[in-house]
Chains A and B, each alone.
Chain A
């Protein structure tokens, strides 16, 4: 049995279907990218998998147990979620935001040495250690995004769900984050990331899911899922597929 089992998952927001009939199984050891146009249901699907959205139809199970039956705390030790962004009203430091990732492991009111070690390792991986003491709100968009990712990494969960984790990142950090995700996946983690960057998905993902109008229209290896015909049809842009020297697909879109 796969770690994630989804069968006929659907969701409506005040009557309008945003997701319908999504069935899939995802297992550890791979990096899965979810792509699709705006409003295709990507974030909704990820939110359901992260057990943050209720009121959906169908079944979503993790480790053989339906998500409604999971308790929040143990679930958070298995699955970490990285939102698109985080807006804080209060002056928490970057390190405090990262340490929040240790909440599901808390044994008392205060952090242990183990908690600090995990937080520091996560900040090293995301290149955020240098501004650990700065007010989170004073950081740039990309820096904040890396801190949010570090907080999820500090959760030391075997599954990582990410909602557009590289939107605000410069090229160096886009590549280093995708490298990190691929490395984790190779080591056995289950990683699912929503992305708009088809070429990053094609380059680093082992599997690509394409959503269109709430339906899963493609599920397979990047080269198959991201065929130029499908990209043109789903995203409604002219598209061509080139090949990188290593034989990976490179999608050219637009005029």
Chain B
């Protein structure tokens, strides 16, 4: 019966992506520099138990949350701006986060109110850029998604040059911290922190996914959506705020981790379905799996040393981006 076709394909797609996530969870839990004995860890033997529970597991969970949020935010910005090359970073939020983090490192502050100062700085920076971009793109009651894009590009480069400016005055150890933070990396966090991130991100993602049908119309065109009864202005604001919030939240903890927001939605759109009711949740699951695997890869490839995960995603993402540019060009010159 055709009636349930979209609901059924939704369930199948979620099940497949969920299975993929479960497999990548298992692989990335096993992958690591330290020789971890699972039998002993599960029996509660020290130090295997501590390595698993306090280091490996929270790190894998943060990678999954981060990858999921970034991929979903990427899919969202691509729909919002009707541009397959948009990323969570297009609107400049992550450069704001980076600038905030670099300011904290340069000031030499390590803690504010019991929380790492870098988190606070990054989150504040993301919020400040978000507010600026929104103010620039708002004319009266209208929000122009094109101006959002341009304002984001402009603020990206402004933040970038301010980071270079601060970096040039940093001492050696600060300079190392800055470079390391800008590469992006997943560090184990406390379970309480994970729970806070997960609940905030989960609520925002649920709101966005529930509007999947409206996102389809908006991805086809603003006027197209408006003629189909979608309140485009409201949806644009919700999507922009939600995507920016997710990006800022994750960037504060992991630093900028590139290309996930680009690769995952694009691959899923081609291989699975461009329908946002499937694309948004599957991007979350796929992004979660991808970042967890990349982080596992980063742990083992030069063991006992570790690569920053941003290096791994960019090395995989860069060639993909080039391929994307090439295949996009073919469409125009065919």
Contact = CB atoms under 8 A, between A and B. Distances in A.
Interface in A123-150: 137
A97 interface: yes
A113 B217 contact: no
A250 to B, nearest CB: 34
Given A76-B228, A110-B7, A100 B1 contact: no
B221 A103 contact: no
Interface residues of B, number: 37
B277 A72 contact: no
A92 B2 CA distance: 18
Contacts of B217: 100, 103
Interface stretch (A32-40, A77-85, A177-185): A77-85
B10 interface: yes
Given A51-B226, A89-B84, A103-B229, 7 more contacts: A76-B228, A90-B219, A96-B275, A100-B224, A103-B214, A103-B225, A109-B213
A120 B220 CA distance: 20
Given A100-B220, A103-B213, A106-B213, A50 B227 contact: yes
* Binding site secondary structure of chain B: helix
Interface string B221-260: 1011111111100000000000000000000000000000
Interface string A87-126: 1111110001100110110100111110010001000000
15 contacts: A51-B226, A75-B229, A83-B224, A83-B227, A90-B220, A91-B269, A91-B270, A96-B274, A96-B275, A103-B216, A104-B229, A109-B210, A109-B212, A110-B213, A112-B3
Contacts of A112: 3
Interface residues of A, number: 35
A92 B221 CA distance: 13
A52 interface: yes
A166 interface: no
Contacts of B213: 103, 106, 109-110
Interface in A151-173: 155
Contacts of A111: 5-6
B283 to A, nearest CB: 13
A157 to B, nearest CB: 10
A111 B8 CA distance: 11
A208 B231 CA distance: 33
Contacts of A120: 2
A246 B319 CA distance: 66
A116 B2 contact: yes
A72 B79 CA distance: 20
Given A86-B221, A92-B274, A110-B277, A52 B227 contact: yes
Contacts of A87: 221
Contacts of A74: 229
Interface in B126-155: none
A100 B78 CA distance: 18
A243 B221 CA distance: 43
A51 B232 CA distance: 13
B205 to A, nearest CB: 14
B83 interface: yes
Nearest to B209: A109
